[in-house]
Structure 1
Amino acid sequence: MALQVFTAVTGAAWESELVGALDRADHGVTVVRRCVDVAELLAAAATGTGQAALLSAELRRLDVDAVARLDAAGVAVVGLVEPGDERAAGRLRQLGVHIVLPADAEPEVIARALRDAVAGGASRTRDVADPAAALPRLGVPADPVDRPAGRGRVVAVWGPTGAPGRTTVAVGLADETARLGVSTLLLDADVYGGVIAQVLGLLDESPGIAGAARQASAGSLDGDALVRLAWAVRPQLRVLTGLARADRWPELRPRAVTAVLEEARRLADVIVVDCSFSLEDDEELSFDTAAPRRNGVTLAVLEAADTVLCVTGADPVALQRSIRGLDDLRDALPDVDPLVVVNQVRPGPVPGDPRREIAEALERFTGREVRFFLPADRRATDAALASGRTLAEVAASSPLRAELRAMAATLAGVAMPAVQRRGRRMRRAG
């Protein structure tokens, strides 16, 4: 049976001749629909009548989300570019098109590429009638062909609902990592209420992550563009601010944010991401397969991260929320193995030795050991928030700052200066 193919290469002088050549029986390919734009291509793909799509880089409104939706519908994609147009070829690869050919390739070469693309994506084919199965996969980066893999490590800072201190930990961790001489990018990916810009006293009108996601979606994000979008807070530390308003969350699509992370890996050695709390996906299955995915960004970041920190408060309410949140994380992303960080540790909310009691409770109910304890230091955090600066700038000797620095050294794989190690031991002994 001939392979059924859609085309979307309008405006190209060679389009009609190519379609005629592909329809010849000896190529084993039949063009079932010639689409004039992305909307028509996506509508045709949703019918399930084709197995592959042949498109050009000049197709208007072609973005990473459209390629993801084609993949979700089980339609393999092959791109065509004008001969010698490496820029267009690179853009298609960044959008996630795995096979790109020059438009003057022989028809049998293009037909073979279409068959190879379908064979390579056979295991990913989905039932478009099932909304859950048709949702695009999260965390799938653009094709890395001709793009060197970044060496930077992504550290996702996540935690359950409430105020366990996710942003405090993310900002402190990024700042201390940079002060240890490691190039660091702090990224605000909280779609419910990102406040890193306010915490650091930066203008929240800057494009930030929304601008980076738009460029990634269009296949035009590179290192230079990411540098222009990020604030240079100090040497070794850049900040990509979050959404100025929570109602702008539809601007962040999971696939685009994943592409931002991939580019960030090439820019910095450590990327610290402040994530939202919610992992629910009910809203994604309540509409059609193209529904926006508010919590998809959080899931995509957690799946792409090298290290996931689960931040919990040190009181009974926060601990209960964390126990439930860890269960939700295991159900949503069973392959993610988070490190537990207990923040705001202090005498009072938990009887006895708070560290011992909290560690025993979390191990009993979650089966996980606490990796890091962070002491409460309200005076230092209030001073930092009031001045729009970090703990290191307003309270250099704070015990919270010392533990954040130790955590940063551990996660970044670098050694702390000896004088700071001694000071930390003395504070613990005291």
Structure 2
Amino acid sequence: MGRAVTRPVIAALDAAWESELVAAVEATAGYTVTRRCADLADLLAAAAAGHGQIALVSADLRALDRPALHELASHGVEAAGVVGPDDEPGERRLRQLGVEVVLRADLASHEIDDALDALASRTRPHGGRGEAAPDGDPAGSKTAEGPQPATVIAVWGPTGAPGRTTVALNLAAELALRAPTLLVDLDTYGASVAQLLGLLDEAPGVAAAARAADQGGLDLAALARVAPEVTPGMRVLTGLPRAQRWTELRAPSVAHVLATARHLARFVVVDCGFAIEDDEELSYDTLAPRRNAATLTALAVADELVVVGTADPVGLQRLVRAVQDLTDLADLADLPDLADLPDLPGLPARSGRPPRVVVNRVRPGAVGPRPEQRITEALGRFAGLGDLDFLPDDRATLDAAVFAGTTLAEVAPQSALRRAIAALADAYAAPLPERRRRHRSRRGVVRS
């Protein structure tokens, strides 16, 4: 006995068996094809017009990528893949794109019915839409016996160069002394990790990783290739070589890069751009890229957040406003780029802990004698912040590190600045023993 209500299906199947599969769907008990689309653009238009609840897409559909699947989801349309018999490469590509249910074109109508029912009732695990784990587990989860997934630490701060990249780089270097660490440069306004480490601008880095994520080709091996180890235990995914390439970093792709990174290292440190406002002029068009999407995505998926400000009157005022801006982002998952990436935690839910505030370049000349006490009192009064970390101003040591293209741990291991950042790292890696690192010249790193 058939069901009283059927669910509408739209299809974009670039294959010889398209007619046979549509007929099989029409013969199911619960589904009917309402639109047969000629290409991906037609499919997205049909989804936006509300013609379907499920979209059938073939592995060879031209221009099908992760942002397109995200666009379908934004219209409330679930995507199911279809491949020909024995088309293992096609099935693998669809699953790497995040398609959870993949049908064979030769399935009988009752089998298609069951598979689409499973898609409709499927409950997704925490961590994002269809994020496939590197081991092929579509849930992206690990068993209790498996390796512990990484802690993602986003390093963010307001405008005015408060030292985000310096803190992110040296925090990653300190964590790498204890466990494998990946540093990711997601600053879409002025990526500079490569320059600080003396790496080539032409290294593929995060742009290549995002492109692979778009096309369903990002796995652990692919991520490791574009994130070389620059010192023992620390890999680096360099940022955009030119700021105008920010359109390559879209929210779904960045989320997948960070999800994959969790299985490449024990700690993932993300250097974020300063801007976190949403572009209201583009909000009507969910396909339009947003320059701040990379930062907003990193803040949404991170387990921990470090907020960096400078210890001078202007920098402290910006820091107070920055903390307020974070509070105003009541739920990052409600932003247009992230609304359809299920289970992304918003800032208030981050491990139940507030952001860790780091005051950088602390010096008496900027705020008067006993600067740490004065800053603590000011931030406590105007921003309700009481638990602060302080980094002393040490321009000479930082200049030496930049000149050598290295980290503070290598150029000035006994400096007060290095010790302060090491103490910050201890807050995240205290249970882990410190490893003895053998110095190795960065000049020997193979660069793409």
Instruction: Please give the TM-score of this superposition, normalised by the length of structure 2.
Output: 0.84
- In 2: Cα distance, 1:203 partner to 1:368 partner: 40
Give secondary structure in 1 for the equivalent of 2:103. strand
Q: 2:308 aligns with which of 311, 316, 329?
A: 311
Q: 1:60 aligns with which of 56, 59, 62?
A: 62
Cα deviations by residue, 1:321-356 (Å, 9 ceiling, x for unpaired): 111111111222442431111111111211342112
Contact persistence 1:78–1:113 (CA under 8 A): no
What letter corresponds to residue 52 of structure 2 in structure 1?
Answer: G
Give secondary structure in 1 for the equivalent of 2:361. strand
Partner residue, 2:255: 258
1:103 matched to 2:105: yes
Q: 1:19 aligns with which of 13, 19, 22?
A: 22
Deviates more, 1:394-403 or 1:365-374: 365-374
Distance 1:139 1:303, change over 3 A: farther
Partner residue, 2:84: 82
Partner residue, 2:116: 114
Give secondary structure in 2 for the equivalent of 1:343. strand
Contact persistence 2:10–2:51 (CA under 8 A): no
- In 2: Cα distance, 1:141 partner to 1:360 partner: 46
1:324 matched to 2:321: yes
Q: 1:413 aligns with which of 420, 423, 430?
A: 430
Question: What's the C-alpha RMSD, in Å, of the aligned pairs?
Answer: 2.4
- Identity %, equivalent residues: 52
Cα deviations by residue, 1:113-148 (Å, 9 ceiling, x for unpaired): 334434559x9xxxxxxxxxxxxxx96562554444
- In 2: Cα distance, 1:238 partner to 1:141 partner: 26
Cα deviations by residue, 1:2-58 (Å, 9 ceiling, x for unpaired): 2111111221x332112112223x623221111222121111111112111011222
How much does 1:262 deviate? 1.0
How much does 1:386 deviate? 1.9
Cα deviations by residue, 1:350-383 (Å, 9 ceiling, x for unpaired): 1342112212222222223334211111110011
- In 2: Cα distance, 1:120 partner to 1:363 partner: 47
Q: 1:355 aligns with which of 372, 392, 401?
A: 372
Q: 2:240 aligns with which of 236, 239, 243?
A: 243
Give secondary structure in 1 for the equivalent of 2:366. coil
Partner residue, 1:161: 159
Deviates more, 1:150-159 or 1:245-254: 150-159
Contact persistence 1:141–1:258 (CA under 8 A): no
Give secondary structure in 2 for the equivalent of 1:27. coil
What letter corresponds to residue 27 of structure 1 in structure 2?
Answer: A
What letter corresponds to residue 81 of structure 1 in structure 2?
Answer: V
Contact persistence 1:99–1:113 (CA under 8 A): yes
Instruction: Please give the TM-score of this superposition, normalised by the length of structure 1.
Output: 0.87
How much does 1:91 deviate? 2.9
Q: 2:191 aligns with which of 191, 194, 216?
A: 194
- In 1: Cα distance, 2:302 partner to 2:80 partner: 29
- In 2: Cα distance, 1:115 partner to 1:415 partner: 45
Contact persistence 1:198–1:388 (CA under 8 A): yes
Contact persistence 2:56–2:82 (CA under 8 A): yes
Contact persistence 1:233–1:239 (CA under 8 A): yes
Partner residue, 1:170: 168
What letter corresponds to residue 247 of structure 1 in structure 2?
Answer: Q
Partner residue, 1:4: 8
